[in-house]
Structure 1
Amino acid sequence: MVIVLSLVSALSYGISDFLGGIFAKRASAWPVAVVGQSTSAVCALTALALFPGSPATPDLVWGLLAGSGGGVGVGFLYRGLSTARMGVVAPISAIGAALLPVAAGLISGERPSLLAFIGIVAAFPAIVLISRVPASEESGTTTASGIGDGALAGLGFGVLFVCLDRVSDGGALTGLAASQVTSVVTVIAVATAMGAPWLPRDRFAARAVVMGPLGFTAQGAFLFATQQGLLSVVSVISSLYPASTVLLAALLLREKILAWQAVGLALAATAVTLVALA
């Protein structure tokens, strides 16, 4: 079940990023992030109202911290994708999203089996290969800017994953709702600090409402997976989300899967198989 939930998280994140990249190219990244995160928050608050659980104060605190990281991650990821820097932003953000939780898990005493550890190691080059695009498809913006967006996005997602892992079983939906609401506030705060417009004013930003249930599903599946399995394993599988983004682009936008991306997809499948067999 841990592997299934982790894959659901990766798939949901991948679809959400695919849509976010499309919307953010036609509207500013920040309004897209605000709309997407707001609808995710509505989903989380609705679930909390239906199933309140038995939360403790730390669950709320960890949820607030998770949301701060998630807001930073989403905002800078969409900003990077909106300027077509996927080949720089996507692998850095995904590796950052996996590396920090893996380090936190190992430091806290997690010891994956040998097979699982090999799968974890194989996942990192898989992420890079899957996310890589030809230089001719990159925009004219500087590589340094792409690296900065990717690093900030990866750091934000890494914090999100680590903090969600700290939420208790009884306070899962409380932590999730706190995370989603805080992420909206964080996106607005960061956009305001950067002098970027964040109010949704056109139909492309408004269409980001479809991303809400995806974001809620992605985070919820990740949270419940970490309650049953190791953070170091779950975070790596969830961070393979660029695979679903690439596959969707191939199926819906008729984008060609390049040779190195095919190798990356094969490595990703190997990584998941090894972890599942562990």
Structure 2
Amino acid sequence: MFLGILLALSSALAYGASDFIGGVGSRRYSSWQVVLVGQAAGALAMLVAGLTLPGSPAAADFAWALLAGAGSATGSIFLLRGLASGRMGLVAPVSGVGAAVLPVLVGVALGERPSWLVWVGVLVALPGIWLVSRESTSDRSASARRALVDGAVAGVGFGTLFIALAQISEEAGLLPLAANQLVGAILTILTATSLGQRWRPCRGVIGWGSASGLLGASGTLAFMVATGMTSLAVAGVLASLYPAVTVLLAAGVLRERIDLGQRAGIAICTLAVAALALA
């Protein structure tokens, strides 16, 4: 179980770094371009790795991979919409908590019976994820109800990604992950086109998008392996700590200020990780 915890934390590190790089790139280029290039780069990397290290995927593995791709794309799309509404301080924590809660509930429904210490870690982590994801905002013009809906749907999307990845068999290899990334790219193009957004990549976005996408794909791989070594509930909560990584990178690299609530959230998340590790 300890190795599974380390892999789930590695997943959070990779996802958080991916979001940071993608966020910085989105300040210079369209976020749709960054997301599309990232998903395409991840799909290509997983395809090459899957052909080099072939597994034995079944039809069910690809079906779960397609659902994971749909969840990933849905989460990203609604998170972007919430970000554009100017209520990131509401959207981000709702999505982070949603992504953590859904795998716990599904894991229990599938027969997982976490120990009391695991439940303590889970319950401690949720407010920590909320606090570390929050950003103060003075914008009161956007609708809070729409922001809540965006955050909730994004959380369901990311939670679905985690749940579906956990169902892919250990013998499947990496080809299902290539399918996961490819579905995300296709859905991004379709959604951006329907909304009239610019998605065709320019040359400058390739580096930002590729770095973000490769880190995201690494996080996906680490999470999938982690679920084979620990419970879905534990892996899902730990992977949902990725906002803390993004916040810390923004503070260290961009010198952005970490407010008191975020500091408290990071401390709470650290306690949650310790509880899960002891379990």
> Per the shorter chain, which TM-score range?
over 0.9
Q: Letter of the aligned partner of 1:210 in structure 2?
A: A
Q: Does 1:29 align with 2:11?
A: no
Partner of 2:111: 109
What's the CA shift for 1:23?
A: 2.2
What's the CA shift for 1:54?
A: 1.4
Q: Aligned to 1:119, which of 121, 130, 135?
A: 121
Partner of 1:93: 95
Match of 2:18, SS state, is helix
Q: Aligned pairs, how many?
A: 277
With the length of structure 2 as denominator, give the TM-score of the two structures: 0.93
Partner of 1:216: 217
Partner of 1:259: 260
Q: More displaced, 263-272 or 251-260?
A: 251-260
Partner of 2:149: 148
Partner of 1:52: 54
Q: Does 1:62 align with 2:64?
A: yes
Partner of 2:17: 15
What do the CA deviations read for 1:37-96 (whole angstroms, capped 9, x no partner)? 111111111110111111111111111111111112123324444665431222111112
**Kept in 2: contact 1:77–1:150 (CA 8 A):** yes
**Kept in 1: contact 2:166–2:232 (CA 8 A):** yes
What does residue range 267-278 of structure 1 map to in structure 2 within 5 Å?
267-278=268-279
Q: More displaced, 114-123 or 194-203?
A: 194-203
Q: How much identity, in percent, do the aligned residues show?
A: 45
Provide the C-alpha distance between the structure 1 equivalents of 2:146 and 2:252, rounded to a whole number of angstroms.
Answer: 30
**Kept in 2: contact 1:63–1:178 (CA 8 A):** yes
Q: More displaced, 204-213 or 76-85?
A: 76-85
Q: More displaced, 68-77 or 227-236?
A: 68-77
What's the CA shift for 1:102?
A: 1.1
Partner of 2:130: 128
Provide the C-alpha distance between the structure 2 equivalents of 1:244 and 1:150, rounded to a whole number of angstroms.
Answer: 19
- Structure 1: tracts of 5 or more residues without a match: none
What's the CA shift for 1:10?
A: 0.4
**Kept in 1: contact 2:53–2:173 (CA 8 A):** no
With the length of structure 1 as denominator, give the TM-score of the two structures: 0.93
Partner of 2:197: 196
Partner of 1:244: 245
Provide the C-alpha distance between the structure 2 equivalents of 1:12 and 1:145, rounded to a whole number of angstroms.
Answer: 29
Provide the C-alpha distance between the structure 1 equivalents of 2:4 and 2:81, rounded to a whole number of angstroms.
Answer: 31
**Kept in 2: contact 1:59–1:171 (CA 8 A):** yes
What do the CA deviations read for 1:126-165 (whole angstroms, capped 9, x no partner)? 01110112223x5854434433332222121111111111
**Kept in 1: contact 2:18–2:212 (CA 8 A):** yes
**Kept in 2: contact 1:21–1:82 (CA 8 A):** no
What's the CA shift for 1:124?
A: 0.5
What's the CA shift for 1:169?
A: 0.6
Q: Letter of the aligned partner of 2:250 in structure 1?
A: A
**Kept in 2: contact 1:76–1:153 (CA 8 A):** yes
Residues 249 and 84 of structure 1: is their aligned pair in 2 closer, same or farther, counting only changes over 3 Å?
farther
What do the CA deviations read for 1:80-118 (whole angstroms, capped 9, x no partner)? 446654312221111121121111101111111111110
**Kept in 1: contact 2:32–2:188 (CA 8 A):** yes
**Kept in 2: contact 1:164–1:175 (CA 8 A):** no
Match of 1:170, SS state, is helix
Task: Say what the alpha-carbon RMSD is for the aligned residues.
Answer: 1.9
Q: Letter of the aligned partner of 2:65 in structure 1?
A: G
Provide the C-alpha distance between the structure 2 equivalents of 1:238 and 1:159, rounded to a whole number of angstroms.
Answer: 13
Match of 1:148, SS state, is helix
Provide the C-alpha distance between the structure 1 equivalents of 2:36 and 2:256, rounded to a whole number of angstroms.
Answer: 28
Match of 1:153, SS state, is helix
Partner of 1:38: 40
Provide the C-alpha distance between the structure 2 equivalents of 1:97 and 1:250, rounded to a whole number of angstroms.
Answer: 24
Residues 84 and 24 of structure 1: is their aligned pair in 2 closer, same or farther, counting only changes over 3 Å?
farther
Provide the C-alpha distance between the structure 1 equivalents of 2:276 and 2:239, rounded to a whole number of angstroms.
Answer: 12
